[in-house]
């Protein structure tokens, strides 16, 4: 019998909202649908799961913002000052 540890995952649109990168989940969802968001260099859909260690890049007009996922939140909302516990800006 094999036992596998469950790898924590969260949808990218939800993650961007919960860690306060976007103000609303619908905005994050629209960004993904508009092909503005990639994970580890691959353009993704809003339903794509993120995991610890992933690099999320937002392609905004003439600049890019990249974030490394450090942890996945367990609650719906986190305070803005706790953002650094979950992502580091690259």
- Mean pLDDT, the chain, whole residue set: 91
Q: Give the model confidence (pLDDT) of 3-23 as tens digits.
A: 666 677 899 999 999 999 999
pLDDT value of residue 4:
63
Buried b (16+ CB within 10 A) or exposed e, 3-35: eeeeeeebbbbbbbbbbbbbeebeebbebbeee
Instruction: Report whether pLDDT(1) > 60.
Output: no
Q: Give the model confidence (pLDDT) of 29-58 as tens digits.
A: 999 999 999 999 999 999 999 999 999 999
Whole-model pTM over 0.75: yes
| CATH number for region 10-89 | 3.10.290.10
pLDDT value of residue 76:
84
């Amino acid at each position: 019998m094999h036992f596998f540890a469950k790898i924590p995952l969260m949808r990218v649109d939800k993650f961007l909202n919960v860690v306060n990168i976007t103000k609303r989940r619908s905005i994050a969802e629209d960004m993904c649908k508009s092909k503005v968001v990639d994970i580890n260099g691959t353009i993704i859909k809003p339903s794509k799961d993120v995991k610890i260690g992933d690099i999320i890049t937002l392609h905004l007009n003439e600049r890019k913002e990249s974030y490394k996922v450090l942890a996945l939140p367990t609650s719906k909302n986190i305070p803005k000052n706790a953002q650094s516990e979950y992502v580091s800006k690259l």
